Amino acid sequence: MALKPDVAILEPTGVNYSKFWTQLLTRAGVEIRLIGHKELRRYRENHLQLPDKDDDADALAIACYYFDYCSDRSRFVRVLDPVVSRIRELILRLNHLNKVQSPIISRARQDLAWQFPEVALVVSKRGVSGKVPLLWGWLSGERKSKKYDRLYSQTAGLGLTDSVKFHAQRICSLQREEQLIEVELTVLLKDERFAKYIQVFDEFNFGDRLQATIISQIFPLQNFFGDDGNPVVKIRKGRISGKPTKRYLSLRKFQKSLGYAPTQESSGDISKNKVSGGSTICRKAIWQWVFSGVEPKRRRTNLLVKELGEFLDQEKVAGKPVSLVRSRTAVKAVKLLFKKLVNLLD
């Protein structure tokens, strides 16, 4: 007689591997609990005294971890909502496509530098029509352009070869895949549960891709709250001042999920803070938003972004390094985002 398990304990190992088991177990009506990699490693080494990692040690540690902490859900990684899980998959896919395209575009530009130098540095992007970028479409033979026909007829280059055509075809194919993903993301973001989140995001002038990236990390916001449904704030005595100090634990977890939680490293007289952990993709996306959506004065089209832009300008005037200024602006924006989401969702 086959036994049906009540619960399955997994490590969140890779999107595709986890997806396979999660969907099969969910269909079978089995509860799923996920254990974070760091938590499992510490438990295996500190509690079970098993420093060597192998499948048997991990399996034992997973089972023991569940029996020790099964009643405390905060000890487990949350299983994502299906829609949020799909958004995260698509964001990861877009990031992968971007990495794949970059070397192809770079190689194509190097070839164009001697074959058709007049267009080697042209930045060609998809327009609102959704067609492939004009330059790459023309080079691949998919689109017509009198402009590029005229430039090529007068080029100082040595003439186009099939290698550039093949590169352009690859780029167009990847661009079409990107477009399909973006269309699906747009549909998924219309889920009514995200409406208030999008309302706040619009105040920051976040684009669709950044909105989706953040949603994939923070939804639902209540996951960052305590048992009473409110942000967790604890008070403890300051180590140096000796005075009561507030620790905003929910805010810190929120910052970490977006890749902008500071980690303190102290040794003797040396103390320094650095940003580590969290989503690298999200941290990079927010940094790019600061660079392109806050720093240029022409992009400061509402009061909130103007406020962040003025903060950035003041930091620059103070003589701080530009990279630090952008990072501090991103941290300020993340804290403000949490505050506004809490106020709107309350």
Listed residues 165, 188, 211: the one ending a domain: 188
Residue with tokens 């496509």: 97
> What count of Cα atoms within 13 Å lies in the side-chain half-sphere of residue 272?
4
Q: Is the pLDDT of residue 20 over 90?
A: no
Query: What CA–CA distance (Å, rounded) separates 45 from 52?
Result: 8
List Cβ neighbours of 87 (8 Å cut-off, separation of 6 or more): 185, 188, 189, 212, 215, 216
Give yes or no: residues 111 and 123 share one domain: yes
- CA of 33: how far to CAs of 3, 56, 76, 78, 229, in Å? 19, 19, 6, 8, 22
Give yes or no: residues 254 and 291 share one domain: yes
Query: What CA–CA distance (Å, rounded) separates 221 from 154?
Result: 58
Q: What is the DSSP string of 18-54?
A: HHHHHHHHHHTT-EEEE--HHHHHHIIIIIS---S--
User: 16 lies in which domain range?
Assistant: 7-79
Dig out the tokens for 61 from the structure.
Answer: 């540690």
pLDDT tens digit string along 235-293? 887 666 667 788 889 999 999 999 998 655 444 444 455 555 678 999 999 999 999 99
Q: Indicate the DSSP class of residue 245.
A: E
Helices and strands in the chain, H and E counts:
13, 6
Range with the lowest mean pLDDT among 123-137, 145-159, 175-189?
123-137
pLDDT, the chain, mean = 88
CATH code at position 115: 1.10.287.4070
Query: What CA–CA distance (Å, rounded) separates 59 from 48?
Result: 12
Query: What CA–CA distance (Å, rounded) separates 101 from 232?
Result: 43
Q: Is the pLDDT of residue 152 over 50?
A: yes
Helix, strand, coil fractions of the chain, as percent rounded to 5: 60, 10, 30
Listed residues 79, 113, 138: the one ending a domain: 79
Residue 99 lies in a domain: yes
Type of residue at 160:
L
Predicted TM-score (pTM) of the model is 0.82
Listed residues 188, 218, 243: the one ending a domain: 188
pLDDT tens digit string along 290-323? 999 999 999 999 999 999 999 999 999 999 999 9
CA 322 to centroid of chain Cα atoms: 22
Q: How far apart are the first and last CA of the chain?
A: 50
Query: What CA–CA distance (Å, rounded) separates 337 from 332?
Result: 9
Q: Indicate the DSSP class of residue 226.
A: -
Residue 14 banded pLDDT, cuts 50, 70, 90 = low
Give yes or no: residues 115 and 28 share one domain: no
Residue 281 lies in a domain: yes
Residue 268 lies in a domain: no
Residue 25 lies in a domain: yes
How many CB atoms are closer than 10 A to CB 216? 25
Give yes or no: residues 178 and 281 share one domain: no
